[in-house]
Structure 1
């Protein structure tokens, strides 16, 4: 399985967002156990702030690198025990811990009543969850079927295809318990792009784009007697390999859409997943008599 690479290189899921972290009981138990924790994207705060701010009600400075002005946030009494809700905290997308955009979610851990979401531009929405789910999509590591399998021949077409059994929609669902927010992102395979690994080759079709068939397959499997025909998906190599095989690239395009709570839905950038296969090409010698 592998990750999708968005076709739009300028698009990526959000660097950070807010989500529920601890109930009043969980926070009190953690503090009693001597645990500290993160209260904003990068800063580890000792047990002291959890007692002072969340138990004794002492206001706490809130700092964001995007907004260097310190502001006071009022504290809480006895961890808000008896109230219905959760303490929310920022979450930074994996691999983006040092990304300055993570400071967009610079609020320290804060209270949110049950069934509500923060009035904040970085509050989770179905689209944010859909983007998060996109980041978790894993698609099959696809190996294209080729004929001839062992060695292609100069000026004779190599047929390429993918069976329908190898292509199925991939779905990933993301949800936030207690908020009613959810989104399901679906990646649907729509085509195959071939790159022969050498300029000395002809693609079939010329664009190298092999569309998906109605039954979910791509291309047509080779059958005996078709050697001199042009395949609907394939490559004709014009020069033999010499010790080193050609690195044929096969990229599957996945169309990505989503739907979520409240009837929300939309599209996300297409994704691609690329594999490389070695292709050896021989040249047959004809003898004149």
Structure 2
């Protein structure tokens, strides 16, 4: 039985390793706080995330913005955090007034609760049954709620605030906000970073009035990006994939025509968008491009190029589906000259 608590989150400055933590899967960020004899949820997570395929854009790569403004990632969920032995060691350290060795540095609790409820097995005032000697000898872990570190501290994020509770090995709690492949996929959404939106232009340098500027994407740079999220100790995983499916062009001036007319350039079957310019195509209408009708007069037009990324996911037990498409916008300066010729 879970015992919900609604308390302010705090941080303890000690740098000791958290219980249930290991070198390969440390919790990310702060993890919660306590008041009196109650233990609250944290905002850190043990979920690991890594990119498994696709181009890596380095510092220039950024998360996509969901097309649906109402879509939100999961605010909180539950995770395993400590074995019986780890919890007992934590409490023994706490009783001795130590430096909280084996106790998560930013998730603390009152000694009375930990001794009476988890060591002596006393039932709480709300009827929650206690745990005799920290469940030593049983297979499983104590779980806690965590807040998604990517979302603000909201009422929704505090829905997982609870005291530590027991879960048998190889099982997942059958409760609201229990971890699922979809929750991990949604968490990974914000971890999918796509390359900076910068399209290829021809002619390079300067465009010419009334002659089309061809626009296309470098297929090698704009390949699908796949990110994998896993929750250690549960067998739950998900892979979230972003695939470029379209490009929208805005010339930066009303004195221009786009190709196609609506400025939307769909992806080809092989994933490419637009067609590279070839010699002799200067006067042809490109599948994707812009024709400027007036020169810039020594300045530049600010062309906007927005790529739409289709987001899908798959996970444990052949689960899968779609998440809201994402967009990523970039701007490029385009100078347009008056002369009616182009280098071939």
| Smaller-chain TM-score bracket | 0.7 to 0.9
Q: Evaluate the alpha carbon distance shift between residue 75 and residue 239 of structure 1 in structure 2; reply closer, same or farther with a 3 A threshold.
A: farther
Q: Evaluate the alpha carbon distance shift between residue 45 and residue 38 of structure 1 in structure 2; reply closer, same or farther with a 3 A threshold.
A: farther
Q: Evaluate the alpha carbon distance shift between residue 146 and residue 131 of structure 1 in structure 2; reply closer, same or farther with a 3 A threshold.
A: same
State the 1:242 CA deviation: 4.3
SS at match of 1:218: coil
SS at match of 2:307: strand
Instruction: Measure the CA separation in 2 of the matches of 1:118 and 1:247.
Output: 53
Residue 90 in 1 paired to residue 145 in 2? yes
CA offsets 1:204-234 (integer angstroms, 9 cap, x no match):
1111111112333211111222111111111
What is the number of equivalent residue pairs in this alignment? Answer: 274
Residue 137 in 1 paired to residue 197 in 2? no
Residue 11 in 1 paired to residue 71 in 2? yes
Residue 50 in 1 paired to residue 109 in 2? no
SS at match of 1:31: helix
Q: Evaluate the alpha carbon distance shift between residue 24 and residue 218 of structure 1 in structure 2; reply closer, same or farther with a 3 A threshold.
A: same
2:129 to 64, 74, 93: 74
Cα RMSD after superposing both structures: 2.4
Structure 1 stretch 153-162 or stretch 48-57: which is displaced more?
48-57
CA offsets 1:148-185 (integer angstroms, 9 cap, x no match):
22111222211111122123221122222332322222
TM-score (normalizing by structure 2)? 0.73
- Larger relative strand fraction: 1
Matches within 5 A, 1:94-105: 94-105=149-160
Instruction: Measure the CA separation in 2 of the matches of 1:47 and 1:223.
Output: 75
Give the equivalent residue in structure 2 for 1:221.
276
Q: Evaluate the alpha carbon distance shift between residue 199 and residue 73 of structure 1 in structure 2; reply closer, same or farther with a 3 A threshold.
A: farther
State the 1:32 CA deviation: 3.8
Matches within 5 A, 1:179-258: 179-242=234-297, 244-258=299-313
Residue 22 in 1 paired to residue 82 in 2? yes
Give the equivalent residue in structure 2 for 1:65.
none
State the 1:56 CA deviation: 3.0
Q: Evaluate the alpha carbon distance shift between residue 285 and residue 152 of structure 1 in structure 2; reply closer, same or farther with a 3 A threshold.
A: closer
Instruction: Measure the CA separation in 2 of the matches of 1:143 and 1:208.
Output: 16
Residue 272 in 1 paired to residue 327 in 2? yes
SS at match of 1:262: helix
Give the equivalent residue in structure 2 for 1:162.
217
State the 1:285 CA deviation: 8.3
TM-score (normalizing by structure 1)? 0.85
State the 1:44 CA deviation: 5.2
Structure 1 stretch 214-223 or stretch 14-23: which is displaced more?
214-223
Instruction: Measure the CA separation in 2 of the matches of 1:58 and 1:282.
Output: 83
Checking the alignment, whether the CA contact within 8 Å between 1:56 and 1:78 is kept in structure 2 is yes
